[in-house]
Structure 1
Amino acid sequence: MPLRHILLATAVAAVCLTSPAHAGDAALNYPKTERGPVAETFFGEKVADPYRWLEADVRVDPKVAAWVDEQSKFTDAYLKALPERAAFEQKLMKLFDFERYGLPVKAGKHVFFRHNSGLQNQSVLYVRNADGNGDSRGGRRVLIDPNGWAKDGATALDEWVPSHDGSKVAYSVQDGGTDWRSIKVIDVETGEVLSDTIEHVKFSRLAWAGNDGIIYSRFPEPKAGEAFQAVSSNQSVWYHKLGTAQSEDRQVHATPDNPRLYHSAEVTHDQRWLVVSTSTGSEKGNAVGVAAIGKGDWKVRPLITSLADEWTLVEGIGDRLWFMTSKDAPRKAVVMVDLSGAEPTFTPVVSEDEAVLDGARIVGDRLVLNYLRDVKAEMRLAGLDGQGVTKVALPGIGSIAGVVGEPGERQGYFAFSGFTQPATIYAFDATKPTSASVWEAPKLAFDPAQFETQQVFYPSKDGTKIPMFVVRRKDLKGPVPTILYGYGGFNVSILPGYSPARMAWLQTGGAYAVANLRGGGEYGEAWHLAGKGPTKQNVFDDFIAAGEWLKASGVTSKEGLAVEGGSNGGLLVGAVVNQRPDLFAAAHPAVGVMDMLRFDKFTAGREWVFDYGFPEKEADWRLLRSYSPYHNVKAGTPYPAVLVTTADTDDRVVPGHSFKYAAALQAAGLGPKPQLIRIETRAGHGSGKPISKLIEETADVYAFLAHWTGLKTTD
């Protein structure tokens, strides 16, 4: 599920749309890719898969490693020769170089927060005394600095959770972008990293049970050579007591009769209840089990048995648990569950609203409710019974990136950002909830007032109105080179947020558009259902209609439109480029799901069937076959310039998807524009990527898109 100056002359003459030309554009001599004989018959249709061999793990297969090396050298030479690249790299270095903070978390006598001075590859975890002067700088000291963990900066501090008394911090380490994590514990006073090490952890929360035990989720140890590709199965919840070996850990919850289920555990703030959520990983609903660990009872008993609805724990106080749920509320509501009796009782607290409830938390004795209204954030506070609702004033169009605070603590914090404003941290008093004050704000080398954000609602193919944000410099008139971004899947809402990469494009004179396609969660479950499974084509139609609107409205010109998207959004870009190659000048599909007939064969892909469909079912297979990017490249048709990006350690969407797709593009004779693949090393699906790699990759990608849309850079 996205990133974080030199001011250029604002003269419109600095930006123009032209027909780009490059010395090597006319006839690229791509590295040769062997075509294999693999073909299979599905439901009476024979389907060739000539690049099946590229699915093998690049870390263990020398033939794939050689192909990756040849493609990387070829692409690197092309990108480094682009005249636009140096200007983008310089601009990105300055745009990333600003001081930024994470949300502060109080535990015991300490406050913990992340901080990055600007160009540090990884943010540093700091600690200060809770009785300090109230800001982030008073008496702070470094607790965990991951920047010395690897020479290339690709080993990251992922999740971190302080114990309830603040004496220790449990944290997870991510190496080279993989989804796998190792859990460690550090003593806050001494800075000593304890001997405890927990392995085989993936898709896990961290929670403390008391101040000497950790709750986590893990998988069985993978077989040799299978860690980065094998289907993920048999996740379970475990308890680790500090000072003991992982082999002595206690299994708390598992479902051996259904190995495809995922389990995530939380502990209420008062340590009364362990709450375990069980799901398929991508289907919208989850079951819930609870254990009264405050009474020494570790037996997880079912509370919600159906997977039909979403139940997200907000918090627990005593024997009462608050949940955000989609049950009978497609746009979400809040329900309180009382566990004090022989049977649990369910009481509605916050009813479904016209806006979508996007998050909830308890701070002090108030519910903090985050809503989306037409993809723009709203914040409200209410009593624990849902009464006495008040609104918190927000600074404009943007999104709330997180809220922290605890029951019994009147002070809370949230992060707010917009397309042209990096995350600013606000403090609020739950007893005086109508406004919030700035706690930490980034100091910028540019003026956000020079840019404008417009939200439009354009008609899709079937007439449905789709929201889209368009961001650009205020001084630019007429069509400019434009990047269109989309995702459209898995109930994920794409919200306004700041990106130094996007700002580099905007400062240079381009426009950036974000379409909130069906399949996402921007308008609740109905919006999601309108773009999943049998309705997936709606997502592609929405994206194509966005491109048509941007041209018809004069935002961009015939040769000025590029598209980009990552993961499910990479699939989106691959599909629309096949369906409308004439519409786009350039395309950037990142870490995309490109083989829709085999996505379920690797790592977490098996669970995506709930959004895409089941390849073993004929009706689903035929739909998947109709838009699978790898299988629908139109040989001999002029295509836009395409830069595929992936990473060797992506074990979420394995790089074989992009390898096969790029090979198919290069073999298809798609005209004079280039079809390239950029393969990052020691990186994964996106999280944990060091700033240095982000700058290099973004400079490559945006130089490529600028070159093929005619965006001219100036010194």
Structure 2
Amino acid sequence: MPLSAQALTYPKTERGTVADVQFGEAVKDPYRWLENDVRQDPKVREWVTAENAVTDAYLKTLPGREAIAQRLKALWNYERFGLPRKSGGRYFYTRNTGLQNQAVLYVRDTLNGTPRLLIDPNLWAKDGATALSDWNPSEDGKRIVYSIQDGGTDWRTLKVLDVDTGKVMTDEIKFVKTSNGSWAKDGSGFYYSRFPEPAAGDTFQAVNLNSKLYFHRLGTPQSADRLVYETPAHPKWGHYGSVTDDGRWLVIYTSEGTDSRNDITLLDLTKPGATPQPLFTGLKNNWMVAGNEGSDFWFVTDLEAPRLRVVKVAVAGAAPVVTPVIAEDKATLQGAGIVGGKLVAEYLVDAKSEVRVSGLDGKPVRTVALPGIGSVAGFGGKQDDSETFFAFTSFNTPSAIYRYDIASGKATPWAMPKVAFDPANYVVEQRFYPSKDGTKIPLFVVHKKGLNLDKGAPTMLYAYGGFNISMTPSFSPANLAWMDMGGVYAQASLRGGGEYGNAWHDAGRLQNKQNVFDDFIAAGEYLIAQGITTKGKLAIRGGSNGGLLVGAVVNQRPDLFAAALPAVGVMDMLRFDRFTAGRYWTDDYGYPSKEADFRVLRAYSPYHNIADGKPYPAVLVTTADTDDRVVPGHSFKYTATLQAAKVGDKPHLIRIETRAGHGSGKPTDKIIEEYTDLWAFAGKWTGLTTAAEGAIAGGQ
């Protein structure tokens, strides 16, 4: 039998006396020392080793782990393709045969030509933890600039590959985070953004400031790269450059945080010595280029349109002239691009995808026939391409790639995965439930067909609720395994996301952040009231901002949940802006240094609101030693506080992955191992594992 918390002996965590006086309140921070970088501080490293030892020993006692691991492995073992990108008549794409730790980059010289391997990152590291991140082919398809991600860090190193020979060129660019290369039309080099080299010892914790945009000419050292754009008076501003299809313009996007508010600056590349010219300034609105014809641009914008619209902007004159093209709709516009002389626009309708094609004048041509209710991605390409590609996925449908003919509107399969299950065996439904204030919240409920819900089923409730990010249908082998065990998977589209435009986002951030927690709690109450689950069978999960969500609602309603799985969460809301990318998040969270924001943050910060006296659900925190986006100190401090509190006898553990980061680039074997532990833990505390062991052992 697995141990209870009473039988567990947690590591002894030194409790300090640190306290910061903020706006008249002495805010205690007894575990401040756990913020130190695990790579630099032996004391923190010892704590991590001790915590992992306790967690590993506990997880080994859980029933069903082997059956869960085998089912996860079987479900993950299917061929997966990335969206093709066409350059110089060639088609570039990624492919994973199934259980490869990292996807491999291939090229075809024709649409259905013989694939040729270009880059296999599985050869880069014995543990599979070095990944191919972003990549971009040159206009003529003869070169690829690609980025390498090691051990899950957000830092990237850019390299260049000669496509014809398969050889890596001498070019190397360091200290890149969120930028890939945008090629000059003639292929002579590319534009990229980078941060200054961090001081020794600060690589994984220092705040990211002073982004600069450079041009790198092939065959030259990084030290010779030409500085194109910077804003030294505004060190928090970040810059990203993108060359238009005609090669004439470098479009420079400037933003400060995570908000969809950016400036646009144009550099005319046809004029030697030209200086960047501001087009839209003030960081007031969202501007995304859909395409251009000469000095006429099509933009997606939220200017006078909270759910976004498409406008045409003439930039030749002294001031830009804005002309409406596609008006704001009841559906939420996600993005648009010009392909084959048409505007292809992606919308969300109640958190489900819809794609519409129109002329450049905005007149409707057709709505794209999708394979079902789900999510799409893609529809990119050059403005004169006759074809484009899109991916479609849903909860019971792995991502499939389709080729779309712009002229005829016909979609044909290009890469269809073969899977070890029948999608028809799963029920996917969408419901709407009322939150605390009566707001209707979308909720997807998915389970195996024929599941008996008479007594309520163990249920995994997932959500995010922030940063204008929409929670739409997507496929996960892990979620399918949970359903194969006999569980229900539920996904709520909380306020704070982007499902219904700016107003929906605004209703769940800053002073309105409590709405997100209320929405999540209401989802749990709804699932119980509908008989889908019970309090003793409800587990919750979320990552990053979703980890914050889980931590906050467990503090507010510990009675509602049987198990909680906060992953890489933002747990200290009073110091989040002091590390790496944290300073960007003030758009959603506010500034801890401002009293009004401090009061809101202090009220829900997971680390600061764990209180004795109420029994908590079983909690398994997950993080990684190389997470330099949400530094692991958040999870370390939260776990130490939880283990020291008098909050019941269920286990409160932390699982700390090594050579992994915030999530991207994580090798397949580590993903399967992590979900094996998560599902065994949640299954134990929702009553699922024992009953499920025999059911999943035989698969379908």
Whether these two folds match at TM > 0.5 is yes
Q: Shift of residue 404 of structure 1?
A: 2.5
Amino acid of the structure 2 residue aligned with 1:431: A
1:674 aligns to 2:654 (yes or no): no
- Asked if 2 retains the 8 angstrom alpha-carbon contact of 1:268 and 1:317, the reply is no
Kept in 2: contact 1:92–1:501 (CA 8 A): yes
Q: Distance in 1 between matches of 2:365 and 2:306?
A: 21
Give the match for residue 175 of structure 2.
200
**By how many angstroms is 1:619 displaced?**
1.4
C-alpha displacement at 1:348, in angstroms? 1.4
Question: Which stretch of the first structure deviates more once superposed, 580-589 or 108-117?
Answer: 108-117
Contact 1:648/1:681 (8 A) holds in 2: yes
Distance, in Å, in 2 between the alignment partners of 1:327 and 1:55 is 41
1:245 and 2:225 aligned: no
Offset at 1:99? Answer: 0.7
Residue 298 of structure 1 and its aligned partner are, at CA, apart by 4.8
**What letter is aligned with 2:168?**
V
Q: Which residue pairs with 1:707 in the alignment?
A: 684
User: Across the two proteins, how many residue pairs are aligned to each other?
Assistant: 689
Q: Which residue of 2 aligns with 1:278?
A: 254
- SS of corresponding position for 1:574: helix
Is 1:84 the counterpart of 2:64? The answer is: yes
Equivalence map 1:497-576=2 (5 Å): 497-576=474-553
Q: Structure 1 residue 24: deviation in Å?
A: 4.6
User: Which residue identity is paired with 1:413?
Assistant: F
Q: Deviations over 1:539-580 (max 9, x none)?
A: 000000000000110111221000000000000000000000
* Structure 2 counterpart of 1:295, from 253, 256, 271: 271
Alpha-carbon separation, structure 2, partners of 1:86 and 1:59? 32
Matched-pair identity in %: 59
Question: Deviations 1:411-456 (Å, cap 9, x if unpaired)?
Answer: 11100100010111111111112x4221111011111101111111
Match of 1:51 in 2: 31
1:559 counterpart SS class: helix
Which of 437, 445, 454 aligns to 1:462? It is 437
Per-residue CA shift, 1:440-495, capped at 9, x if unaligned?
11011111101111111101001111111010111112111000001111111111
* Contact 1:103/1:404 (<8 A) preserved: no
Superposition deviation, residue 357 in structure 1: 0.5
**1:641 aligned partner, one-letter code:** A
Kindly report which structure 2 residues correspond to 1:14-413, keeping only aligned pairs within 5 A, or say none: 22-130=2-110, 134-135=111-112, 138-209=113-184, 210-413=186-389
Is 1:481 matched with 2:461? no
Tell me what 1:5 maps to: none
Change beyond 3 A, Cα 1:619–1:388: closer
- Counterpart CA distance in 2 for 1:582 and 1:386 is 52
Higher relative contact order (CA 8 A, sep 6+): 1
Map of 1:419 onto structure 2: 395
Any idea what the Cα deviations from partners look like across 1:136-175, whole Å, max 9, x if unmatched?
xx31110011000001111100010000001100001100
Instruction: Name the stretch that deviates more: 549-558 or 317-326.
Output: 317-326
| Partner AA of 1:49 in structure 2 | D
Contact 2:5/2:652 (<8 A) preserved: no
TM-score (normalised: structure 1): 0.95
Cα-to-partner distance string for 1:330-354 (whole Å, 9 max, x where unaligned): 1011112222334432221111000
Aligned 8 A contact 2:145 2:180 in 1: no
Check whether the contact 2:550–2:564 (CA below 8 A) recurs between aligned residues: yes
Question: Hey, what's the Cα distance between the residues in 2 that align with 1:107 and 1:317?
Answer: 20
| Cα contact 1:252–1:298 (8 A) shared by 2 | no
Residues 205 and 265 of structure 1 are in contact (CA less than 8 Å); yes or no, is this contact kept in structure 2? no
Q: How far apart, in 1, do the equivalents of 2:143 and 2:23 lie?
A: 57
TM-score by length of 2: 0.97
TM-superposed CA distance for 1:623, in Å, is 0.9
**CA 1:39–1:23 in structure 2 vs 1: closer, same or farther (change >3 Å)?**
closer
Q: Structure 2 CA distance, aligned partners of 1:106 and 1:29?
A: 57
Residue 499 of structure 1: how far off its partner (Å): 0.6
- What's the CA shift for 1:81? 2.1
Among candidates 596, 613, 617, match of residue 573 of structure 2: 596
Q: Which amino acid aligns with 1:623?
A: V
Moved more, 202-211 or 452-461: 202-211
Kindly indicate whether residue 426 of structure 2 is the aligned counterpart of residue 451 of structure 1: yes
Deviation of 1:606 (Å): 1.1
Write the distance in 2 (CA, Å) between the matches of 1:595 and 1:23.
29
CA deviations on 1:56-110 (whole Å, 9 max, x unpaired) are 0001001001000110111111112211211111111111100111111111132
SS at match of 1:73: helix
Q: CA distance change for structure 1 residues 59 and 30 in 2, over 3 Å: closer, same or farther?
A: same
Cα separation, 1, equivalents of 2:563 and 2:146:
41
Q: CA deviation at 1:390?
A: 1.1
Taking the aligned partners of 2:412 and 2:257, their CA distance within structure 1 comes to: 37
RMSD value, Cα: 1.1
Q: Which runs of 5+ in 2 are unaligned?
A: none
Amino acid across the alignment from 1:655 = P
Q: Which amino acid aligns with 2:269?
A: I
SS at match of 2:655: strand
Structure 2 CA distance, aligned partners of 1:699 and 1:401?
29
Contact map agreement 1:97 1:119 (CA 8 A) in 2 = yes
Do 2:433 and 2:440's aligned partners in 1 also have CA atoms closer than 8 Å?
yes
Distance 1:481 1:302 in 2: 55
Alpha-carbon offset, residue 22 of structure 1: 2.2
Following the alignment from structure 1 to structure 2, what is the Cα–Cα distance between the partners of residues 633 and 204? 38
* Runs of 5+ unmatched residues, structure 1: 1-20
The alpha-carbon deviation at position 296 of structure 1 amounts to 3.3
Tell me how far 1:297 sits from its aligned partner.
Answer: 4.7
Q: Secondary structure at the match of 1:278?
A: strand
